[in-house]
Chain A
Amino acid sequence: AQKVTQAQTEISVVEKEDVTLDCVYETRDTTYYLFWYKQPPSGELVFLIRRNSFDEQNEISGRYSWNFQKSTSSFNFTITASQVVDSAVYFCALDPFSGGYNKLIFGAGTRLAVHP
C-alpha cells in the first residue's frame, strides 16, 4: 500500500519557536519522490521541496530544513524561528514510480498556527 501519515493534526507555537512537522510514508517502490507543500488560507498549494528516494542528504533553505531518513521512512520538516506568516496547513506527499509519477499521494496535513 502507498500511504502518507502526518500524525500531528494541529500544532500551535509562539513566534520564534522552532517547530518540526512529521511525515511518515509507506511504499514498496524503491524509486519515488517526496514533497512538501504549504497551503495558506488563500487555498493555493505552494510547492516547498521535492526529494528523490536516492538522495538522503538533508536540505536547508533559509529557515526551512528537511530531514529524510529512508531507514524510518520519514521526511520531516523543521521551521526554525517560526513567524506568523508560517501559519498554514502543510502537506507531505509521495509520488511513487509505480504511479507513473503523476498521482501524488497526500497526507492529511498538519495545521500550524504561529502566534505573536
Chain B
Amino acid sequence: GAGVSQSPSNKVTEKGKDVELRCDPISGHTALYWYRQRLGQGLEFLIYFQGNSAPDKSGLPSDRFSAERTGESVSTLTIQRTQQEDSAVYLCASSLVQGLKNIQYFGAGTRLSVL
C-alpha cells in the first residue's frame, strides 16, 4: 500500500482480555517499529524488527506484551491480560534501512481503551 496501515483504528476491551493489533508496513520496507503514545505524551519505543534478525524487544514494558512479524510483511502486537494502564495509542512505523539513513514512516495508530 501507499502508507503504513494499522487495524483496528479503535479498540475497546475489558480489563483482563487479550488484544491483537495489526500493522501492514510500506511495501519493501525491511524495518518495522512499534511505539506507544500515552495521552498527552510523546512516543515510547516498544520493539523493532529488521529483516530476519532477532527483534529488539528492549522497550516492551512487561511480559504481557509480545510482537511477531512474518518475514518483511505484517506485524502483530499482542497484549495479554490487558490493564487500564495499557490504554494508549499504539503506533507502527516502517523504514528502508539504507546504511544510517533510515526515516521512519508512521501509521495512524490504534487507539486502545481498556475499561
Chain A positions near chain B (C-beta within 8 angstroms): 4, 6, 33, 35, 37, 42-47, 50, 91, 93, 100-109
A50 to B104, CA, bound (A): 10
Among the 9-residue stretches B11-19, B37-45, B79-87, the one with 4 or more Cβ atoms under 8 Å from chain A is B37-45
Among the 9-residue stretches B20-28, B61-69, B70-78, B105-113, the one with 4 or more Cβ atoms under 8 Å from chain A is B105-113
Q: Beyond A101-B100, A106-B42: 17 further Cβ-contacts under 8 Å?
A: A37-B106, A44-B3, A45-B43, A47-B105, A50-B103, A91-B43, A102-B31, A102-B33, A102-B50, A103-B45, A103-B48, A103-B58, A103-B59, A104-B104, A106-B43, A109-B41, A109-B42
Given A45-B91, A102-B31, A102-B56: A4 in contact with B42 (beta carbons within 8 A): yes
Chain B positions near chain A (C-beta within 8 angstroms): 3, 31, 33, 35, 40-45, 48, 50, 56, 58-59, 89, 91, 93, 100, 102-109, 111
B91: chain A residues within 8 A (beta carbon): 45
Nearest 7 pairs between A and B by C-beta? A106-B42, A45-B106, A44-B108, A43-B108, A106-B43, A103-B45, A108-B42
